[in-house]
Structure 1
Amino acid sequence: MKLGYQTNTWGGVIGHPAGVTSVNDAYYLANGSTEEALKDISAAGYRGFEIFDGNLMQYKDKKEEFKALVKENSLDFIGVYTGGNFIFSDILEEELIKIEKVTSLASELGAKHLVIGGGAIRANGILESDYTDMGNALNRIVEISEKYHLIASYHPHMGTNVQAPEQLDRLMPLTTINLVPDTAHIEAGGGDPVEVIKKYIDRIKYVHLKDFQDGEFLPLGEGHQNFDEMIKVLNEAGYDGWITVELDSYENPKKGAEISREFLTRFE
């Protein structure tokens, strides 16, 4: 397996403050050190990393520094995580401008995957038309990703309009984008990650793993997720892509990465 880790554990999941007044600067951002994250990820035995769009854009004028950092830690740059609301027509163009900027930079720096989160929930509830609008927006993102030779995949997430399995099933027929299953978010939304992987295996080019128990996201092996069955399904389908561990926050980020890496040795 090709194993990677998300840098967002170093600093946790926050947002860029510029997004309050500028939609095309509404980046995800981990308020930690990317340099420290890559050093720890490499030391824990992972081969690659994924990064938030806001942390990647910090290197837009320091590209050689980023490349040197990746090389120094003997890692592959797997992909970048970005997203948007996708249901409000008056800001969609701004969201797509942001995503194209991120995709262009990620491609230039050697990434292979574009991970898309999001889908807003309206104050008065979700409209059925939101899924059609979102599907159309994601199709435009697929076109952007193809322009820059990245593989685009949608990431279901709590707090969006695609957190429950029936919501995912509404969206997926409306778009050609791939699916990156985040196993813990799928369970937190009421789904069975094994069944979701089985159902959408033909559209899975990238995978996020994290454990889950009692409403808490955990390092692999510390919850009750059935990773044995998930890996079995992937292997039987001939999946040979990246598997990235994503742990939104952990008191000791390096230790969290080490715990999950040790757990994954059982599949090697």
Structure 2
Amino acid sequence: MIAFSKPTRGAEQQRLLFDRYPEFGFAGLQLKGNQYGDYLADPVADAERFRAEWGSEPGHVSSLITMNPLDAEGKQRLRAIIGFASAVGSQRVVLCHDVPRDGLDDSDLIRFAGELSDLAEEAAGQDVVLSLHHHTGEPVMHRRDFEVFFGAVRDNTLRLTVDTGHLLKSGVTDISGLLTDFSAVIDNIHLKDYEDGEFRLLGQGSVELTSVLDTIAKLDPGTTLCVDEESRAEILEGLQVSRDFLGQHPLPA
């Protein structure tokens, strides 16, 4: 599955994204927090309201992305998102762990791995996958962080969303090597370009995307690929350039 994700401002932009992504060849959307955040009070009722307002196509909610800490309030919100994901038929919740990386040590990463293992088990009980999105400035950021953190995840419960742009932004240059080394836990890949402090349209940055796509082709065929378009481009330009890039650099058979 090749999905698409892009921030929107207001209902008009969100409607444009929902209406137009299929014509560019994308099978689904991975939603940012503000694109579903008003539907978390009552999972079942809000799922019905979401479908009524935005459409019932399963692709509209292929994954839900959230930035959450793991304090009491953050866990409560994460559980609400998991409940909504289950009710609306979303495949996974992608968690950006909203805690500063500075000052943390291995014991903190191991503790976080235990807490997220518990939450991943809860999500699995509702037929939802919980996937950690590593992020610049957050606990799992550097190459060694992945080893420590996923070495402590219990029973392979938690999955990993790899973001190519955030890897390069965090100083990880061997992206293909990381994809290979952690292939057993990767369920989702955010394809993103980056250069000079900014996320870029695909092919307009410094990420070696061709070699990355070659490596992705060797991963589990069930792994989701999502163009996570966070450049300054408008929605239709982002969709068009992303489609053109993937058309010129198709995944090897």
TM-score category of the 2 structures, normalised to the smaller one: 0.7 to 0.9
C-alpha distance after superposition, 1:48-96 (max 9, x if no partner): 0011234313234553353253446x8352111124233xxxxx33322
TM-score under structure 1 length normalisation: 0.80
Q: Does 1:36 align with 2:19?
A: no
TM-score under structure 2 length normalisation: 0.85
**Deviation at 1:246?**
0.9
Larger mean Cα displacement after TM superposition, 53-62 or 103-112: 53-62
Q: What amino acid is the match of 2:36?
A: L
Q: What amino acid is the match of 1:245?
A: V
| In structure 1, C-alpha distance between the alignment counterparts of 2:48 and 2:98, rounded to whole Å | 34
Gapped regions of structure 2 (runs ≥ 5): none
Report if the CA contact (8 A) 1:79-1:113 is conserved: yes
| In structure 2, C-alpha distance between the alignment counterparts of 1:151 and 1:6, rounded to whole Å | 18
Report if the CA contact (8 A) 1:7-1:34 is conserved: no
**Deviation at 1:41?**
2.1
Match of 1:181 among 158, 162, 166: 162
| In structure 1, C-alpha distance between the alignment counterparts of 2:188 and 2:194, rounded to whole Å | 20
Question: Against the structure 1 CA distance between its residues 178 and 126, is the aligned structure 2 distance closer, same or farther, given a 3 Å change threshold?
Answer: same
The aligned runs of 1:1-268 (5 Å cut-off) are 2-8=1-7, 10-11=8-9, 33-60=13-40, 62-68=46-52, 69-71=54-56, 75-86=59-70, 92-121=71-100, 125-175=103-153, 176=156, 177-191=158-172, 192-265=174-247, 266-267=249-250
| In structure 2, C-alpha distance between the alignment counterparts of 1:44 and 1:229, rounded to whole Å | 23
| In structure 2, C-alpha distance between the alignment counterparts of 1:210 and 1:199, rounded to whole Å | 20
**Deviation at 1:173?**
0.8
Report if the CA contact (8 A) 1:165-1:189 is conserved: no
**Deviation at 1:215?**
2.3
| In structure 2, C-alpha distance between the alignment counterparts of 1:236 and 1:126, rounded to whole Å | 34
Q: What amino acid is the match of 1:184?
A: G
Report if the CA contact (8 A) 1:44-1:254 is conserved: no
**Deviation at 1:39?**
1.9
| In structure 1, C-alpha distance between the alignment counterparts of 2:114 and 2:67, rounded to whole Å | 14
Report if the CA contact (8 A) 2:93-2:131 is conserved: yes
- Let me know the Cα RMSD of the aligned residues: 2.4
Gapped regions of structure 1 (runs ≥ 5): 12-29, 87-91
Q: Percent identity?
A: 20
Give the length in aligned residue pairs: 241
**Deviation at 1:31?**
8.6
